[in-house]
């Protein structure tokens, strides 16, 4: 018989410190070594804050791009509660990471079973060592979690600990009808959604966003320019551009829910914002690019209009303005009023508002027939 989980007890009995490696990076990429400064390490682990546990996929001499982490404890708790776990569930976890969330789930499943998949072999080895004391011991798999793990299917619950832009249909196929899929989700433009899907008997899954999270991307779904220098590399020659001015203040467009909604309509566009300092404090420039076209907008306090520079065939700033106005016309809905539906043919985003449910995302949804490894 299913019983609910006492998460207070599970967290008390499963301390984070047993699963965090000796070297981590805190805020501002500050490196914290337990052997050199045990007090600083202990303070960092005890804090309700995320800790980076790997840079640059474990490769030396990289650009200090975070690629694995121990998530913020309060966020881990939120996600486990949203998963709605019963003690006899069969659960698939995508992204073992340090093994802490794996250990929490394992402790909760007194009558069920847990399978956890990790794509990085070195991360998986470390997690396996940390999980030796777990009871019951979960099944640990090294592989691409975007394919799920069909050998253990069907599952009652699936939880991912990395962000996806495209929900793999394999996940839907491997979860029972009425089962739950919980995953961070975003676009190249904006990454902040915690998506909770419920699988239907017809082989589809649908659900709304239930929170604000920002997770590292699944490795094969990373935005194209994530590790590249935006200006001078992605945008090779910013001086070759069209120049105009706009009366649209760029600040409201960067508000959390507006930015999310714009990203639904421009999911292939990436952005970076650079802030001024000294005499230019309070100013900023935001750059947008899709690989062929780009735009930048300069914000200056108290200006009557704002300079826009653009290059390439698309008029990106006008597209961004149009997406923002479309969001305003829908009543400025919050992220949590939006949802995603996944079928064997693709996925699309929608908004549930006063006029019912309406599609509001890109007109070119991904197709499930795409090769996952090529995304």
Phi, psi at 209, each rounded to 5°:
-80, 140
- State how far the alpha carbon of 145 is from the alpha carbons of 131, 148, 220, 315, in Å: 19, 5, 10, 37
Catalytic residue among 71, 101, 192, 296: 71
Strand arrangement of the beta sheet that strand 51-55 belongs to: 31-33, 23-25, 51-55, 66-70
Cis peptide leading into 248, omega within 30 of 0? no
| Lookup: tokens for 193 | 């959604």
DSSP string covering 104-161: HHHHH-SSSEEEEEES-HHHHHHHHHHGGG-SSPPEEEES-GGG--GGG--EEEEEES
| Catalytic site includes residue 293 | no
**C-alpha separations of 324 from 2, 254, 255, 258, 330 in Å:** 46, 10, 11, 7, 10
Q: How far apart are the first and last CA of the chain?
A: 41
Distances (CA, A) of 111 to 4, 37, 99, 127: 11, 41, 20, 23
Residue 374, CB-side half-sphere exposure with 13 Å CA sphere: 6
C-alpha–C-alpha distance, residues 162 and 280, integer Å = 36
How many C-beta neighbours within 10 Å does residue 112 have? 20
Contact 97, 148 (CB under 8 A): no
3-state SS, one letter per residue, for 264-306: HHCCCCEEEEEECCHHHCCCEEEEEECCCCEEEEEECCCCCCE
DSSP state of 337: G
Please list the active-site residues.
Answer: 71
């Amino acid at each position: 018989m299913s019983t609910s989980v006492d998460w207070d007890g599970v967290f008390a009995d499963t301390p984070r410190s047993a699963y965090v490696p000796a070297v981590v990076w805190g805020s501002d990429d500050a490196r914290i070594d337990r052997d050199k400064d045990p007090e600083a390490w202990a303070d960092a682990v005890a804090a309700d804050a995320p800790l980076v546990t790997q840079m640059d996929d474990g490769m030396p001499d990289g650009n200090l791009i975070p690629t694995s982490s121990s998530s913020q404890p309060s966020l881990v708790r939120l996600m486990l509660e949203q998963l709605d776990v019963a003690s006899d569930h069969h659960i698939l976890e995508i992204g073992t990471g340090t093994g802490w969330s794996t250990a929490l789930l394992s402790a909760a499943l007194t009558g069920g079973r847990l399978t956890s998949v990790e794509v990085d072999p070195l991360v998986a080895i470390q997690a396996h060592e940390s999980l030796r004391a777990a009871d019951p011991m979960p099944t640990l798999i090294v592989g691409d979690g975007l394919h799920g793990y069909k050998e253990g299917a069907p599952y009652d619950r699936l939880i991912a600990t990395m962000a996806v832009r495209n929900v793999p249909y394999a996940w839907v196929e491997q979860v029972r009808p009425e089962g739950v899929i919980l995953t961070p989700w975003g676009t190249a433009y904006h990454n902040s959604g915690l998506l909770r899907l419920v699988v239907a008997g017809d082989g589809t899954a649908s659900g709304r966003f239930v929170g604000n999270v920002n997770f590292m991307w699944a490795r094969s779904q990373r935005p194209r320019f994530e590790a590249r220098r935006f200006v001078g590399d992605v945008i090779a020659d910013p001086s070759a551009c069209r120049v105009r001015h706009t009366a649209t203040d760029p600040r409201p467009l960067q508000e959390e829910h507006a930015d999310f909604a714009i990203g639904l309509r421009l999911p292939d566009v990436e952005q970076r914002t650079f802030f001024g300092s000294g005499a230019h404090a309070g100013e900023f420039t935001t750059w947008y690019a899709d690989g062929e076209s780009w735009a930048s907008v300069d914000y200056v306090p108290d200006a009557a209009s704002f300079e826009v520079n653009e290059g390439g065939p698309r008029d990106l700033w006008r597209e961004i303005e149009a997406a923002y106005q479309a969001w305003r016309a829908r009543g400025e809905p919050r992220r949590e009023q939006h949802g995603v539906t996944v079928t064997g043919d693709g996925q699309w985003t929608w908004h549930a508002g006063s006029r019912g449910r309406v599609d509001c995302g890109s007109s070119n949804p991904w197709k499930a027939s795409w090769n996952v490894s090529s995304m």
